[in-house]
Chain A
Amino acid sequence: MPLKIIVTVKQVPDTHNVSGDAMKPDGTVNRAALPAIFNPEDLNALEEALRIKDTLGGTVTAVTMGPPGASEVLRECLYRGADDVVLLSDRRFAGADTLATSYTLACAIRKLGDFDLILCGRQAIDGDTAQVGPQIAEKLGINQFTSVSEVIDVSTDHITVRRTIESGFEILRSGLPVLLTITSDANEPRPPSAKRAMAYKRIGRQACQGDFDEAYIQPGVCGPLDFIREWNADSIGADPQRCGLSGSPTKVKKVQNVVLTASDSRKVPNTDADIAKLIHDLIEENILG
């Protein structure tokens, strides 16, 4: 029996390469000045899903929530081998914290029907919360393994993983379905396939309201996708009160620039005498023994 695997992905601003003009004078971040990228650990989650599919057969469905532009990461998923992709886009999803995000994603996953595995990146580099994965698992009533650095074995009814913890590793086993959050150590994501990139470069989006047709994603049955399905709150049966800003218990009270400065700072010239004096001072202060 082939596995049905769901991967959640996110388009994020590239916070690890923040250049000067990405910070506004008031100390807040100018999101527009940062390039939008595929969240790095979500690529590891996608890769793990594709590897499992390569071994056992099945389908890989990538789901993202975001503005229409976020469909770019879904295209990237198609280039790498995803069978199906879904964009969750609705003004009512905007301003979501992790609770509202996980609710929306869980509604969409439920709508996709039965599944065996959900793979998420461990965390997204814009928020670094690592909360959405476990919250999806709870909402769907399934088991979870976070910080998975290796999928050791997977069959059609069980999975064994290595989970990285502070004191070493845990080797854990669970029946399916289960949700995993994957770390960057787990694998090296494959590059996009040129052939698939050609086929999907211009794939458009299409809003879908009607019932989801399972046959749509049977691999080899329907051939390549015609469009990226786009769902809103109504199409996934979500309660708008639990989505976006209104479904988010956490609020941002204020945002400050990070100002880190030493209380007293002095330059030490790079000479034998000055450095010897510095070492001497530190010994005098009992900083050095």
Chain B
Amino acid sequence: MTEAKNVMVFIEADRGRVADVSLELVCEAGRLAERLGGTVEAAAMGYGMTEALADLGRYGCRRVYYTEDRRLERFASVPYAKITADIIRRRTPKVVLFGASTTGRDVAPRVASILRCGLTADCTELDIGDYRFKDRQWEDVLLQIRPAFGGNIVATIVSPESVPSMATVREGVMRLIESDPEARAEVLREAVSLGGDDFPTEIIEVIEQERCVDLKSARIIVAAGVGASDPESLKLVRQLARLLGGVVGASRPVVDACVLPRDHQVGQTGTTVRPNLYVACGISGQIQHRAGMAESKRIIAINRDPDAPIFDVAHYGIVGDVREVIPRMIKAYKVRGTL
């Protein structure tokens, strides 16, 4: 048997549309596959997805192993895990990547348990490198980098003996690049025999709930922390966000206190964001929060405490009360052009 060197991506889809996180992972898989001298493959299951899957070629995917069945139209743990494990066994990739979404984090551990292989959750960075332990050395292993211990440290995890090495990867951290708009992936039908026992879940209803805010694609985010969670400050935060054409974000304590809905939460347990401008209002900047916004192009931090950790990641630090600073910003923006 030839040595495994391909990188496989588990494709997540909603009503036939491939999820953004899967596209991001196909792009990242391309980078890793180049290092390993392999190609990018995908494992997919669903119904009526052939066209959408061939389209993965645009992002650098060479082949898609696809199991089609009407009963697979929506995600279900047991059959999805079984099929994915079957495809991995037959195609022997070196690395398998899943989105760290509710789907990926449901199916990946089940697949890892079937295959008894290593799985690292919620990675924010991947690489290929060597691993040395005592007098042994492994070459070209997947380096799985993730925040650990509530975000207080970053750990590099390896699964040197495990074939494949598997990881779930957080949405929004890998860049989406369309490498060749004309390229098509080869879609190969993967037959897996499925019986009634493989479908123990009955889907009674799916309730779509519009997110009240789309942090991920926002170009400007004005976020409220505990220091801006009183009604007056919050009103100013909203006003500033509206004026600048941005959206309102929040730190975890503000969401935990039910001041703003969970969709607004920025940070490690919320959404990872990288807007053009992030205005942190009254946010002290716990590591979990900073990890979710430090990649923003420009960061303005407003806090009464000059020692607040948020100032470490801010490009512009303003020491002062939100209720004083925001009105100044609003005023300055309104008279722009007159300077």
Contacts and interface: CB of A to CB of B under 8 A. Distances in A.
Interface of A: 13, 15-16, 18, 22-23, 27-29, 97-99, 102, 125-135, 137-139, 143-147, 160, 163-175, 178, 248-258, 260-272, 275-276, 278-280, 282-283, 285, 287-289
Nearest to A27: B153
A138 B119 contact: no
Contacts of B120: 250
Interface of B: 14, 77-78, 81, 101-103, 105-110, 112-114, 116-122, 131, 133, 143, 147-162, 200-209, 220, 244-245, 269, 276-277, 287-288, 290-291, 294, 297-300, 311-320, 324-325, 328-329, 331-333, 335-336, 339
Given A249-B116, A267-B317, A279-B332, A165 B77 contact: no
A112 B73 CA distance: 37
A135 B332 CA distance: 55
Given A99-B117, A134-B77, A257-B153, 20 more contacts: A13-B149, A128-B269, A129-B121, A130-B105, A131-B108, A137-B77, A143-B200, A145-B77, A145-B201, A172-B203, A173-B201, A248-B118, A249-B116, A250-B118, A250-B119, A258-B291, A260-B287, A266-B316, A270-B319, A272-B331
Given A167-B209, A256-B153, A258-B287, A249 B117 contact: yes
A98 B14 CA distance: 28
Closest A-B pairs by Cβ, 9 of them: A15-B150, A249-B118, A168-B209, A270-B320, A129-B121, A138-B113, A131-B109, A276-B332, A134-B109
Contact of A128 (B121, B143, B205, B245): B121
Contact of B298 (A134, A249, A260, A287): A287
B200 A258 contact: no
B106 A144 contact: yes
A251 B131 contact: yes
| Chain B residues touching A, majority SS | mixed
Contact of A99 (B78, B116, B318): B116
Contacts of B205: 170-171
Contacts of A272: 328, 331-332
A250 B155 CA distance: 12
Contacts of A288: 220, 244, 277, 333
A283 B339 CA distance: 11
Contacts of A174: 200-202
B163 to A, nearest CB: 10
Nearest to B202: A173
Contacts of A98: 109, 112, 119, 121
The residue among B77, B108, B143 with the most chain A CB atoms within 10 A of its own CB is B77
